[in-house]
């Protein structure tokens, strides 16, 4: 990964430009150092969300985890998609981005008990982030005539989504969570309802996958940190170490698979599959984060003690989500010539792996922790073997 060179200081005050025009001349556009710096604050937010899940791995806890994770992820998506189309990387953009980073930090602070006593603060922090994104699009609307139809729809949709979030500050639970769901639904549906306006402003087939890959690195880093934290809290029991090693094998294999796909495939910017590709990453990111939390719980189980149903279901459902989401990611990307066989069996194999983990969650009451993480690790390793065999076959028989 080679971040794009920063502009000289005398060029830091300039109007945003339409990046889809730049793609024609610089198709290998890379992330900027400013974008990488922006991602750093999400390390804290993801870690906080994962910690809340580890504290309550029950079904209500998982629902709270999803309710906290989606605003964090969607706030990152909003800025990333804007920057992919319009980023000027000038003084105004950097100052707005700095405010976004402060907003994410405020959101991370409120995540602890974010569905309880800190829920009003979390809602206000998210509203602040959305208002800043609306200011980004107002700047694009002002300076780029071609962007006005899309920017106007985004500003209207995101503004409408703010209303339920603001109202939730003044109402008790569970009505508050219904308002959150309504606000998130409007946020998520706004881009889907703006496809005609998006046609003239395609996303970058190179820059966007790189940005998603960088966020995936953050999530994988949290997964590894959970595994390390789980081992560090034990007295080096052999079963705990084995459980940790096998859960690390799962995370490593999934990272290998994902980044190989990012390297050799592109997202077609003008097809509906590009939107599916973006949205399905939510389930991959949540799955990876939750699998790390589940692995830490499994590592902490003393030798000889049974695995709780909550810990078993958390880990199995999370890894199943990873396999299923990656199957869809493979279907929505296009491989370069000679990289994908004519009949790609990998998505089907991933769905089988997803179903297998769900069956283990359903009937694996007697399995020790290391067999649960070992099952996920073995299934991920099989996907990796199939992946490399498929690529080798495609190179030998590209027709």
Note the pLDDT of residue 270. Answer: 60
Q: What angle separates helix 309-331 from helix 369-396, to the nearest 10 degrees?
A: 10
pLDDT, tens digit (0-9, with 9 covering 90-100), for 55-80 = 999 999 999 999 999 999 999 999 99
Strand partners for 385: none
Look up residue 96 and give its two tokens.
């707005």
Q: What angle separates helix 369-396 from helix 346-363, to the nearest 10 degrees?
A: 170
Q: Kindly report the CA angle at 277 between 216 and 123, in degrees rounded to 5? A: 65
Look up residue 331 and give its two tokens.
């279907």
Look up residue 299 and give its two tokens.
């590592």
Whether the link from the prior residue into 174 is cis, omega within 30° of 0, is yes
Tell me the average pLDDT across 343-350.
85
Q: pTM value?
A: 0.89
For tokens 């099952």, name the residue.
Answer: 375
Give me the percent of the chain exceeding a pLDDT of 70.
86
Q: In whole angstroms, what is the distance from residue 341 CA to residue 327 CA?
A: 15
Look up residue 94 and give its two tokens.
């950097």
Question: Do the beta carbons of residue 395 and residue 337 sit within 8 Å?
Answer: no
Residue that wins the pLDDT comparison between 166 and 340: 166
């Amino acid at each position: 990964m080679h971040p794009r060179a920063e502009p000289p200081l005398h060029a830091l005050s300039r109007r945003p430009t339409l990046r889809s025009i730049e793609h024609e001349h610089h198709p290998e556009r890379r992330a900027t150092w400013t974008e990488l710096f922006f991602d750093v604050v999400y390390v804290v937010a993801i870690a906080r969300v994962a910690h809340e899940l580890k504290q309550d791995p029950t079904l209500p806890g998982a629902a709270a985890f999803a309710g906290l994770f989606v605003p964090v992820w969607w706030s990152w998506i909003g800025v990333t998609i804007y920057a992919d189309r319009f980023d000027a990387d000038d003084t105004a953009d950097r100052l707005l981005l700095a405010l976004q980073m402060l907003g994410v930090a405020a959101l991370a602070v409120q995540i602890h008990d974010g569905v309880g006593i800190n829920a009003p603060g979390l809602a206000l922090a998210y509203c602040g982030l959305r208002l800043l994104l609306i200011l980004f699009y107002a700047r694009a609307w002002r300076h780029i005539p071609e962007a006005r139809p899309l920017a106007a729809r985004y500003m209207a949709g995101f503004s409408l989504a703010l209303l339920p979030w603001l109202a939730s500050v003044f109402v008790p639970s569970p009505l508050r969570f219904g308002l959150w769901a309504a606000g998130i639904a409007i946020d998520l549906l706004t881009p889907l309802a703006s496809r005609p306006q998006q046609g003239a402003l395609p996303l970058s087939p190179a820059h966007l996958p790189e940005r998603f890959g960088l966020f995936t690195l953050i999530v994988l880093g949290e997964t590894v940190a959970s595994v390390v934290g789980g081992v560090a809290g034990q007295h080096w029991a052999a079963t705990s170490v084995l459980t940790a090693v096998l859960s690390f094998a799962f995370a490593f294999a999934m990272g290998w698979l994902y980044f190989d796909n990012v390297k050799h495939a592109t997202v077609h910017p003008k097809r509906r599959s590009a939107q599916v590709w973006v949205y399905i990453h939510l389930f991959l990111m949540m799955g990876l984060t939750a699998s790390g939390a589940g692995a830490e719980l499994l590592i902490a189980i003393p030798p000889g003690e049974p695995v709780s149903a909550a810990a078993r279901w958390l880990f199995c459902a999370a890894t199943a989500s990873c396999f299923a989401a990656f199957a869809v990611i493979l279907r929505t990307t296009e491989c370069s010539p000679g990289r994908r066989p004519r009949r790609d069996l990998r998505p089907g194999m991933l769905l089988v792996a997803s179903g297998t983990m769900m069956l283990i969650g359903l009937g694996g009451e007697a399995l020790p922790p290391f067999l649960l993480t070992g099952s996920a690790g073995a299934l991920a390793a099989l996907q990796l073997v199939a992946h490399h065999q498929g690529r080798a076959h495609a190179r030998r028989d590209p027709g």
